[in-house]
Amino acid sequence: MNFLINTYNHTYKDVKHYPENVLVGCFKTTLSKALGLGIIGGSFLVKVPQIVKILKNKSGEGINIFSVLLDLFAITAMSSYSFCNRFPFSAWGDGVFLGLQTLIIAILVMHYNGNTAKATAFLSAYIAVISAANSGLTPINVLWVCQAMNIPIVLISKFMQAYTNYVNGSTGQLSAATCFLLFLGSLARIFTSVQETGDITMILMYVCSTLANAIIVTQLLYYWNVDVKSKERLKKKS
């Protein structure tokens, strides 16, 4: 009871003497929670357009499988690290759904590249690894190292995809909707990570992810214009 009374008195004094600071703090917290929950809600569908595009065309052409696997590692490491550190679910929950969708994309790309057996083996290995990572048996220091590795991994995975796009002169089967949503999501996550976790490795990871996603989005816009101009030239010739 004394604890509640002291907390009330402390809060009352803060509001009385520093009303602006308290209101700003409440606004930031509310905004962070709202953004976090919004990102989680949106994460259900972020990579669905990419999955649908692969299934529709029965092809993973233009999608760099190593980039996808690195992306999956980064998402898994971040989610496991956050779960074991008991960060608020609103700060990392989208990783659960993004990880599942990224896993599906990896398996589909392997399958359509003629590596169905490898896809099955990879799925089994991934389930075993993620179970061990979230069981509480894996030392938190190991998870921290994996999380810290995400910073270069995120950059490498996106740059590999960007290089593939450059070499092909096209973004292939990449979904524009998915890439734009990933960019906006990582941008918002910078703010929510600062507000809800204060973890420097997570903040830096999302800063790097936002910059890398911006490059992919820029390529999508550029190659879309190139494709449109090419089609117009072909129409004129015909």
pTM, two decimals, is 0.73
CA separation for the pair 121, 140 (Å, rounded):
27
CA separation for the pair 7, 1 (Å, rounded):
10
Task: List, for residues 20-46, the tens digit of each pLDDT value.
Answer: 666 676 877 888 888 889 999 989 888
For residue 7, what pLDDT band results from cuts at 50, 70 and 90? very low
**pLDDT (average), residues 166-191:** 91
pLDDT reported for residue 11: 46
Q: Any idea where the domains of the chain sit in the sequence?
A: 17-230
Residue 69: CB atoms within 10 Å? 18
